[in-house]
Amino acid sequence: MNIIRSAILATCASVAVSGLALAQAPESGERHLRHTHMGMMHKHGRAHALRSDSFLGVIRQLELSDEQRQGIRSLLEANGGQRKALRERRQRNAAAMATALPNDPDYPALIEEQKRLAADLIQHRSELRTQVFALLTPEQQARLPELLAERQARIEERRKKMRERFRERRAAADA
């Protein structure tokens, strides 16, 4: 049971951590940067690249200087290869896990690899956050806790509304 719990935890952690965005060069200056969240695009082309990480997601609200934007872009570009390699390893392991049964001789090794990948992804994200945080001014750093709390409140409100809609739909279907 502990192995299954660990596998589920590792899978959830790796999915949560893997959503960091890829960097993209700016097209037309300030307007483009604001529109695409500092020039970073999601791999599907949507402009919600940083939403997967609440810390990085609120950075765009801090009125960054051009130098700070470029620094963040550079960090994301420099970390892109490692991030991609981790994501590819996670995807290969997830594919193997999807077909492996608990009595498979390779199953424990797959679980251990999933744990290692989750730890590596968490460490990678932590290092990136630390580097981004160092680019901020003391005033911007002081605003982060407030912005994170506001973001969390919005998320909780959306979750509450979604639960209410789900209950209403289920009640209507049961009626």
Domain edges within the chain: 2-136, 139-175
Q: Which residue has the tokens 């990948």?
A: 117
Q: Which residue has the tokens 């965005």?
A: 21
Q: Are 23 and 76 in contact (CB under 8 A)?
A: yes
46-61: average pLDDT: 63
Residue-wise pLDDT tens digits, 105-155:
989 999 999 999 999 989 998 999 999 999 999 999 999 999 999 999 999
The radius of gyration computed from the CA coordinates of the chain, to the nearest angstrom, equals 19
28 pLDDT higher than 60? no
Can you tell me whether residue 161 is helix, strand or coil?
A: helix
Q: Are 41 and 47 in contact (CB under 8 A)?
A: yes
Between 117 and 10, residue with greater pLDDT: 117
63 pLDDT higher than 80? yes
Q: Could you tell me which residues come within 8 angstroms of residue 19 by beta carbon, excluding any fewer than 6 positions away?
A: 51, 52, 53
Identify the pLDDT of residue 130: 93
- Over the chain, what is the mean pLDDT? 76
70-79: average pLDDT: 90
Burial class for 45, CB neighbours closer than 10 Å (0-12, 13-18, 19+)? exposed
167 pLDDT higher than 90? yes
61 pLDDT higher than 70? yes
Please state whether the predicted TM-score (pTM) of the whole model is above 0.85.
Answer: no
Distance of CA 150 to the CA centre of its chain: 18
Identify the pLDDT of residue 52: 55
17-23: average pLDDT: 38
Between 60 and 51, residue with greater pLDDT: 60
Confidence bin at 66 (pLDDT 50/70/90)? very high
